[in-house]
Amino acid sequence: MHVDNNTLNTQVIHTENMDVQERTLRDSVQVSMHNYFRQLDGQPVTDVYQMVLAEIEAPLFEAVMTYTRDNQTKASELLGLNRGTLRKKLKQYGLL
């Protein structure tokens, strides 16, 4: 699917003007990515996927662990992850 820059810019401006409580996570990511690419100003970049995952996973795991009061079984069920995978990720982000 191709979206032209004018359409994307219009969507981003609309999203930026939304009340924060109306914004979805998807909206917030779209605005953040648009701003990130705009700041690059044409500079080459690689591994954006891994960068985004790291930026999102760490606070996600922190929030889930707080929500479940550090109960890894509940956290793994909530996330839909194997408990071993959860532990690996928690260690990766210094949360265990």
pLDDT tens for each residue of 53-78: 999 999 999 999 999 999 999 999 99
Q: Are 5 and 11 in contact (CB under 8 A)?
A: no
For the chain, give every domain's residue range. 5-40, 48-92
To 10 degrees, what angle do helices 48-67 and 83-92 make?
110
In this structure, what token pair is assigned to residue 84? 């071993």
Q: How much is the mean pLDDT over the chain?
A: 86
Q: Are 59 and 95 in contact (CB under 8 A)?
A: no
CATH topology of domain 48-92: Arc Repressor Mutant, subunit A (1.10.10)
Mean pLDDT of 24-51: 93
